[in-house]
Amino acid sequence: MSTIVFTNFPVKDVKASTEFYEKLGFKKNEDFSNEHSSSMVWDDTFWIMVLDYEFYGLFLKDKEIADTKTKSGSLTAFSVESPDVVREIAEAARANGGDYFTVDMGIPEDQMFSLEVLDLDGNQFEPVWMEMP
């Protein structure tokens, strides 16, 4: 059995976040979505769950939800097929109310390429392409 990674993001507006991720190429899985959350599927092994604050808070016990516009709680990277796909996701984010930026790691682009993508709520993830031996 393969492992599936589910990244959970708190969002203020599930509908707007669902539309945002669909514009990046994610597909909504209706079986695991409702008015409080959307299950956004990249592929068979990587999903982003967008949960409204009330629902997300159920999983935190006594913790507060971080303001992801000013603080980071996690950084999730996932592999994609090419540097062009990295750019397509980042540009789609920027065109739909999100943003992206680059971090110079000193690695040639023909070896590895990634961009830091921010969604509508400031949640951050990193599509990355790496040349595999």
Residue 128 has pLDDT above 70, yes or no: yes
Local structure of residue 71 (DSSP, 8 states): -
Residue 94 has pLDDT above 90, yes or no: yes
Domains and CATH numbers, the chain: 5-60+70-130 (3.10.180.10)
What average pLDDT does this structure show over 74-90?
95
Q: Would you say 18 and 1 are in contact if contact means Cβ atoms under 8 Å apart?
A: no
Residue 12 has pLDDT above 70, yes or no: yes
E-only strand ranges, 17-115 = 27-34, 37-43, 46-52, 76-79, 99-101, 112-114
pLDDT (0 to 100) of residue 2: 74
Local structure of residue 132 (DSSP, 8 states): -
Residue 86 has pLDDT above 70, yes or no: yes
pLDDT (0 to 100) of residue 1: 64
Exposed/middle/buried for 133, CB within 10 Å: 0-12, 13-18, 19+?
A: exposed
Report helix angle 14-23 to 83-95, nearest 10: 140
- Residue 12 tokens read as 């203020």
What average pLDDT does this structure show over 4-13?
94
Percentage above 70 pLDDT, the chain: 99
Express each pLDDT in 20-71 by its tens digit. Answer: 999 999 999 999 999 999 999 999 999 999 999 999 999 998 899 999 999 9
Residue 114 has pLDDT above 80, yes or no: yes
